[in-house]
């Protein structure tokens, strides 16, 4: 990188910094909502979630769109990721899709989509015949007047009342995030990247829009030790609901490191991973350490790769949940399976299946079959 380009980048940072600081510490911060961006923390990619999300330093390129866009510079082929999961015994559906281009120009690029949804939620508000404990309403000629016990018109299903099942309607609740990612080398062994993300939420007749930014850094030391840093929602992301309500998603800092170990005699590769989330949402129940207004959560994972074909994974996520995973390499990518071991067993276990496809290799295989 030339001196002129470095000066240009620092000049850009110098002009953007006041804007970033103003957005981050302006009075908008008083509109804090702890769970507005919770759906963004579900993660992306079966391999990555099976490792507890401790992958800020080493996501596969197709998952780097979410975990650390700076890692996109390691991508050399056109590839994508597809994932569908039914969480909590099928109540919650999770869908993900990414596409990343090979790093052939100064910038590496990627796009992604993440959807979290609950479908077919029954709406019984219009179905309640709220006539009170005597079951007689104003449309009945026998109507004696409001019930003395106050059960009529209280919005609750009381004894003697009923539901008109013909008036039960259904709606869905979905949360979506769309990512556009860029990355470029900064110095030897160091890359920087970022995300522009558009958020869309839809709950029945209500919907909200928002735009956010993530900043990422990746560094490699002595060829093996890798470290990553991501600041999510750098400027504080603001969600606008159509009824005028505003919600904030506060910044989260994620740090990670990994040091792969090669065991040639056993034809094994061990990838221990460690991660730390630093959240600015104040004291919470599920944290490993509270420091005033900061909540610290630890992640870790271990990936064992056998003969470069089979991967066994385990991890612990930021909420203390445990995960198991299996990966099988194919000639055109790899197939992944993950199991989330929920502490609340009555909710059912969560199974995830994902496919990472190297599109260039797939095209070659298809061409060979056609020829």
- Name the residue with higher pLDDT: 130 or 29: 130
The rounded percent of the chain whose pLDDT value lies above 70 is: 74
* pLDDT number for residue 284: 58
Per the prediction, the chain carries an average pLDDT of: 80
Alpha carbons 78 and 58: distance in angstroms, whole number:
18
* pLDDT number for residue 125: 65
H or E segment to which residue 296 belongs: strand 294-306
- Name the residue with higher pLDDT: 277 or 1: 277
Q: How confident is the model at residue 182 (pLDDT cuts 50, 70, 90)?
A: very high
Average pLDDT over residues 131-135: 68
Is the pLDDT confidence value at 161 over 50?
Answer: yes
pLDDT by residue (tens digit) across 185-227? Answer: 999 999 999 999 999 998 877 889 999 999 999 999 988 899 9
B/e letters for 129-159, b = 16+ CB within 10 Å, e = fewer, are eebbebebeeeeeeeeeebeeebbeeeeebe
Lowest mean pLDDT of 80-89, 116-125, 156-165, 263-272, name the range: 156-165
Is the pLDDT confidence value at 112 over 50?
Answer: yes
CATH T-level topology, domain 31-121+170-370: Porin (2.40.160)
pLDDT by residue (tens digit) across 260-274? Answer: 998 888 889 999 999
Average pLDDT over residues 30-37: 56
Q: How confident is the model at residue 35 (pLDDT cuts 50, 70, 90)?
A: low
Lowest mean pLDDT of 81-90, 163-172, 193-202, 325-334, name the range: 163-172
- Name the residue with higher pLDDT: 340 or 70: 70
Lowest mean pLDDT of 117-126, 196-205, 251-260, 347-356, name the range: 117-126
In the DSSP assignment, the letter for residue 264 is G
Model confidence, pTM: 0.76
317 touches 337 (CB < 8 A) = no
* pLDDT number for residue 37: 72
* pLDDT number for residue 25: 39
Is the pLDDT confidence value at 86 over 80?
Answer: no
The rounded percent of the chain whose pLDDT value lies above 90 is: 38
Torsion of CA 5, 7, 12, 15, to 10 degrees: -170
pLDDT by residue (tens digit) across 280-332? Answer: 765 555 677 777 778 899 999 999 999 889 999 999 998 888 999 999 998 88
Q: Which two tokens stand for residue 29?
A: 């911060």
294 touches 283 (CB < 8 A) = no
Domain boundaries, the chain: 31-121+170-370, 128-163
Q: Which two tokens stand for residue 101?
A: 């281009």
Q: How confident is the model at residue 26 (pLDDT cuts 50, 70, 90)?
A: very low
Tell the burial category of 324 from Cβ atoms under 10 Å away from its Cβ (0-12, 13-18, 19+): middle
* pLDDT number for residue 1: 41
* pLDDT number for residue 4: 38
Is the pLDDT confidence value at 46 over 50?
Answer: yes
């Amino acid at each position: 990188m030339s001196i002129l380009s470095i000066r240009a980048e620092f000049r850009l940072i110098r002009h953007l910094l006041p804007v970033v600081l103003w957005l981050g510490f302006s009075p908008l911060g008083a509109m804090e909502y702890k769970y507005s961006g919770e759906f963004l923390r579900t993660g992306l990619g079966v391999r990555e979630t099976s490792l507890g999300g401790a992958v800020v330093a080493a996501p596969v390129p197709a998952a780097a769109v979410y975990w650390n866009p700076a890692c996109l510079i390691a991508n050399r082929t056109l590839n994508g990721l597809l994932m569908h999961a039914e969480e909590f015994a099928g109540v919650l559906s999770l869908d993900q899709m990414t596409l990343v281009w090979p790093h052939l120009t100064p910038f590496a690029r990627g796009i992604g989509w993440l959807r979290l949804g609950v479908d077919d939620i029954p709406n019984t508000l219009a179905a309640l015949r709220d006539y009170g404990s005597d079951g007689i309403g104003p449309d009945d000629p026998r109507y004696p007047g409001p019930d003395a016990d106050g059960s009529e018109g209280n919005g609750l299903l009381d004894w003697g009342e009923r539901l008109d099942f013909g008036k039960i309607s259904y709606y869905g609740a979905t949360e979506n995030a769309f990512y556009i990612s860029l990355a470029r080398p900064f110095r030897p062994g160091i890359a920087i990247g970022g995300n522009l993300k558009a958020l869309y939420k839809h709950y029945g007749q209500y919907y909200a829009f928002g735009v956010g930014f993530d900043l990422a850094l990746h560094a490699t030391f002595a060829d093996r030790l890798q470290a990553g840093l991501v600041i999510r929602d750098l400027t504080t992301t603001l969600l606008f609901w159509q009824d005028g309500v505003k919600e904030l998603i506060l910044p989260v800092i994620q740090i990670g490191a990994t040091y792969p170990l090669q065991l040639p005699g056993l034809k094994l590769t061990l990838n221990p991973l460690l991660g730390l989330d630093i959240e600015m949402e104040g004291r919470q129940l599920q944290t490993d350490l509270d420091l005033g207004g900061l909540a610290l959560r630890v992640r870790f994972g271990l990936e064992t790769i056998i003969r470069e074909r089979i991967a066994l994974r385990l991890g612990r996520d930021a909420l203390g949940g445990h995960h198991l995973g299996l990966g099988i390499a194919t000639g055109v990518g790899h197939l992944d399976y993950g199991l989330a071991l929920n502490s609340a067993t009555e909710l059912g276990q969560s199974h995830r299946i994902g496919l990472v496809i190297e599109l260039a290799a797939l095209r070659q295989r298809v061409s060979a079959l056609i020829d």
